[in-house]
C-alpha cells in the first residue's frame, strides 16, 4: 500500500481583515538515500509514493542501469528512508561521471551541455506518430482532472504516460524530475513500448526534463508551462516535439511541429 503524500497541519489564515485558525493540507517532503552495492549513491528529496519505481527510473536516467533485469535486488526501508540496490554487474566508473559535464566538439550544438552519462543514455527519437491539436487539449485536461494532490496542496507536480486516447498512468511528486523518474520506472517495470506514447506534464520544460523524456523514449511532450531555450535546443537535436502553455484551447508548438496535426 502506497504511503500518503499529503499531511494535515494547523495554520493561521488571513483573508483581508479576517484571521482564523484552519486545518490545511501540505505536501510531504521525504528524503530517500539510495545505496548501490552497499555504497551510498544519491539522496533524493521526493514524495513517499511509488518509491521503487522512482529508484528504477532514477538509476536508468543516470545511466547506471538500462533495463529492470540489470537489478539483482531492490529493497526499500520506508521508515528510515533508505533504498538498497544490488546490481548483476558492478557499477564500475559510472558513478564518477554522473555529474561531470561533457564538452563536445559539435560547434554550438546544444549537446555540448550534456553530462557524460547523458551522452550515453539520451536517445534521438525516431517515432513518426502524430497527434491532433484537439487530442493535446484533451490529454492536458485529463491530466488536470487527475491532479487532485496539486489541487489540495498547490505543491505537487504530475507526469502522465499517455496514448492518443487517454492517460495510461499518472505519477505525482513534489519534484518534477522525480515524477518523470517514477514514470520511467513504471515503463521499465512493465516493459512498455514507447513509440506511440506521449508524456503530459505539469511542470516547466527545462533541459533536464527534455533529457529525461528522451531517455524514456517518447517523442511528444505536452505541458501547461513554459520552456527554456536550452530545452528547445535539446528537443530540436533529439527530435522531440515540445508543446507548452496548453491552456484554454491555446498552445505553443516549439519544436518538430510535424507531429501535431489540425
Active site members: 107
As a whole number of angstroms, the distance between CA 7 and CA 64 comes to 33
Q: From residue 152, give the alpha-carbon distance in Å to each of 29, 60, 68, 159, 201.
A: 15, 31, 34, 17, 18
Strand bridging mode 131-132 / 30-36 = unpaired
Rounded to whole angstroms, the maximal C-alpha distance in the chain is: 64
- Give CA separation, 137 vs 23, 123, 238, in Å: 34, 27, 24
Amino acid at each position: 500500500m502506497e504511503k500518503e503524500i499529503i499531511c494535515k497541519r494547523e495554520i493561521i489564515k488571513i483573508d483581508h481583515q479576517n484571521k482564523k485558525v484552519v486545518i490545511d493540507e501540505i505536501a510531504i517532503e521525504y528524503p530517500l538515500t539510495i545505496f548501490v552495492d552497499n555504497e551510498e549513491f544519491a539522496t533524493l528529496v521526493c514524495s513517499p509514493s511509488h518509491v521503487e519505481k522512482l529508484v528504477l527510473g532514477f538509476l536508468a536516467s543516470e545511466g547506471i542501469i538500462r533495463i529492470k533485469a540489470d537489478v539483482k535486488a531492490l529493497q526499500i526501508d520506508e521508515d528510515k528512508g533508505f533504498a538498497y540496490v544490488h546490481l548483476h554487474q558492478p557499477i564500475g566508473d559510472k558513478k564518477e561521471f554522473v555529474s561531470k559535464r561533457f564538452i563536445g566538439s559539435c560547434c554550438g550544438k546544444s549537446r555540448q551541455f550534456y553530462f557524460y552519462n547523458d551522452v550515453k543514455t539520451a536517445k534521438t527519437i525516431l517515432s513518426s506518430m502524430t497527434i491532433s491539436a484537439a487530442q493535446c487539449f484533451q490529454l492536458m485536461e485529463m491530466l488536470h482532472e487527475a491532479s487532485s494532490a496539486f489541487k489540495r496542496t498547490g505543491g505537487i507536480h504530475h507526469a502522465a504516460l499517455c496514448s492518443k486516447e487517454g492517460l495510461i498512468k499518472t505519477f505525482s511528486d513534489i519534484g518534477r524530475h522525480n515524477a518523470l523518474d517514477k514514470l520511467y520506472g513504471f515503463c521499465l517495470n512493465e516493459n512498455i513500448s514507447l513509440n506511440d506514447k506521449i508524456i503530459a506534464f505539469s511542470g516547466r520544460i527545462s533541459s533536464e526534463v527534455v533529457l529525461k523524456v528522451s531517455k524514456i523514449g517518447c517523442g511528444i511532450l505536452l505541458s501547461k508551462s513554459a520552456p527554456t531555450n536550452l530545452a528547445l535546443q535539446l528537443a530540436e537535436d533529439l527530435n522531440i516535439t515540445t508543446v507548452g502553455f496548453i491552456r484554454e484551447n491555446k498552445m505553443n508548438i516549439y519544436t518538430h511541429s510535424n507531429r501535431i496535426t489540425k
